[in-house]
Chain A
C-alpha cells in the first residue's frame, strides 16, 4: 500500500508537465456546435502530434502502450493545468475506441482507431431510445438484414454531439423474437448515411448544442460494420459501460477537487446579505467541509479502483460506486455554488448553466437508480429487484 511513483513515472510526469505548459490552448471553448467540434478536434490533434493521445492504447493502433498509472498521471496533470476536457472526442476515446479494441476485427480496428486518436473522426453514442432508458434491453430500433446490408429504422435519443459526429456506436434489434438482450447488435453507423435526420434538443439552461434525437429511415449500413456477432451486441455494449466507469473518471475527479478548492476560497471572501463572509454561515461551512472531505475520499476511491482493476484485469461492479460518488459530489458542489451566488442566481450566467447541468450527473451514463441496482445485486449479492 503506497502512493509513490516510480522514477519512470516521475520522469513521465515531468514530461507531461513540460509539454502541457507550452501546448494548452489560450482561448476557452466556444459555445457554437460546429466551433466546438473544431476546438475539441484541434486539441485532440495537438495531443496526438505530441504523443499524448491514447497513452494506454496498444502501440499498433497509434497508442503508447503504457499502463493505467501513466494514463492517470496524464489526466491529473492535464486537469490541474487547466487543459480542455475531451469534449466531443470523449465517446471515441472512452467508449467507441475501447470497445473496438476489445471486440472488433483487425480491419475495423486499423481503420477507426487511428482516426479516433488523431482527431479525424468524432464518435457519438446511440444507445437510449425514447421508450428505452434505464431498461436499455427493451430497445426497438430495428435492423433488417438485406443481403450484405443492415436496413435500420427507428430513433435514438440523448445523443451528445450527434450533428458533428462522423460515426456512432449504435445498438439495434436484429432479432425481434429473441429474449430481450439476445437479439441486439452493436454496429458502427456512418452518420453521413442517407436516411439519418437529427433534431437538436434544448436543455434546461437553453443550450441546444449538446443533446439530440436521431431518426433512422431505412438507413443502409454494410454488414461489415457490425462489431462482434449479429445478436451478440449486449455483451459488446456492456464492455463499454464498465470502461466508462473506470479511469475515465480520473479527470472529472481532479476538476471536482479544483472546483471545491475554488468554492472554499470564494466562501472565505464573498460576503452574504448579512454582511458576513459566506464561510461564517454554519450551513455553508459544514456542507463545504463534508464535500471537501468526501472529495478527498473520492481520490482514494479512484486509486483503489485502479489497484483492484489491475489485479482482476477489468473494471468491476464497484465502478458504479465511483460513478454515484462523482455524481453526488458534483451535484453538491453545484448546490453550494448556488448558495454562494445569492441574488446573482437570477442571472443565466455560465455558473448557473453549470448548476442546472449538474442535475444530469445522476442520469447520464446510467441513472443512480440503475447504479444502486448494480451495487445491490453484484456487490452485495442481494436478490434481483423487479
Chain B
C-alpha cells in the first residue's frame, strides 16, 4: 500500500506544469478576451496526448489510467483550462466505449471539442433528458456531453433546440441555453456498472482540487507581499489561520482524490463512495478556499483583475456538471459503509 505518486507519475505532473505555465498560465485570465482557446492552443493540448491518454492503445490512446488523467486534470484546474478539456476527455471515452472510433479519434486529435451539457432538471433513466439545458463552454465546440448516474450522452450542439448564447457567470466561458434536445441524434450509453460516472466524478474532483490548491497558493503569496500596520498580513493569525484551513482542505481533497482514483482504476470495493466523496470534498475545498481568498484579498478580492473569483466561479461550474454535488452527497449517504 502506497498512496504516493510514482516517479513516472511525477514526470507526468512536471511536464503538464511546465507546458501549462508556458502555454496556458492562470494569470492570463484577467486579460483574456476570447471565450475559446485558439485552434493552435487546443491542438497543442491534443498533441500532448492529454485528450486520449486514458484510452487503450488499440483505441488510439496512451493506455494510461484514470489516475494519470486525474493528475493532468488537477494541473488543468490550477491553470483554469477550459471545461471543454474535461468534456472532450470524457467524450473520447464515451465515443470509444460506444464503438464510435472515428469520433473518438477526432476528439483525441483536437479536431472536435465537446462542451458540457447541464440539464435544468434531473435526466430520465432510459436516455438523455429532452428538456432544457445550460450548455457550458460552447464556443468552438460542435458537440456536448452530459452524464449522471443513469448514463452518458454525446450529441451535436445542433441537436439542441432553441439555443441562445447568454451572459455567462465566467466571462472566459461561453454559456448557451437550450430549450430541448433531439435525443435521436445523441449517442447514449447506460452506465450499468457505474464505471463512467465514477471516472467522471474523479476527473471532476481533480479539476476542483487543482483549483483549490491554486487559489490557496495565490492567497499565501499575497499574504506575504501585502503589508498593513507595518507587517506582512500573513503574520497576523486572522489571516494565517484561514490560510492553514485552506491548506488542510487541499490535503483532504488531494488524498481523497488519490484514494478514489486508485479505487476506480483497480475496481476496489467502496469505489462509488470514494468517487462521490472526492468530488464533494474537492468542490467544498475549491469554493470555500476561493471565498476565503476573496476576503484575504480585501478590496482587491472584489475586482475582476485579481485571481480569487475565477476559482470561485469554476467551483460553481464543476459543482454542477454530471448530476452535481447534490447527487454525490445523496450517494455518499446511501452507501453501505466506510470500512
Contacts and interface: CB of A to CB of B under 8 A. Distances in A.
Interface string B264-291: 0010100001101110110010000000
Interface stretch (B52-60, B191-199, B245-253, B306-314): B245-253
A3 B251 contact: no
Contacts of A80: 339
B125 to A, nearest CB: 22
A294 B337 CA distance: 14
Interface in B108-150: none
A376 B245 CA distance: 9
Contacts of A373: 237, 240-241, 244
Contacts of A375: 244, 247-248
A324 B328 CA distance: 25
B162 interface: no
Given A1-B2, A385-B235, A296 B248 contact: no
Residues of B in contact with A, size category: 35 or more
B4 interface: yes
Q: Interface SS of chain B: helix, strand, loop or mixed?
A: helix
B102 interface: no
B237 A304 contact: no
Contact of A1 (B262, B277, B328): B262
B241 to A, nearest CB: 4
A324 B276 CA distance: 23
Given A1-B2, A4-B1, A296-B338, A380 B256 contact: no
A300 B3 CA distance: 8
B6 interface: yes
Given A3-B263, A300-B255, A303-B1, A376 B241 contact: yes
Interface in B320-339: 328-330, 332-333, 335, 337-339
Given A258-B339, A293-B329, A375-B244, A1 B236 contact: no
Contact of B236 (A3, A289, A298, A385): A385
Q: Identify which of A254, A257, A385 gathers the most chain B CB atoms within 10 Å of its CB.
A: A385
A136 interface: no
Nearest to B333: A289
Contact of B240 (A292, A307, A310, A382): A382
B9 A1 contact: yes
A294 B254 CA distance: 12
Interface string A352-379: 0000000000000000010111011101
A306 to B, nearest CB: 8
Contacts of A3: 1, 3, 259, 262-263, 266, 268
A118 interface: no
A55 interface: no
B214 interface: no
A321 B248 contact: yes
Closest 8 CB pairs of A and B: A300-B255, A297-B256, A300-B259, A376-B240, A293-B277, A375-B244, A307-B4, A296-B277
6 contacts: A2-B266, A3-B3, A261-B339, A292-B338, A297-B259, A382-B223
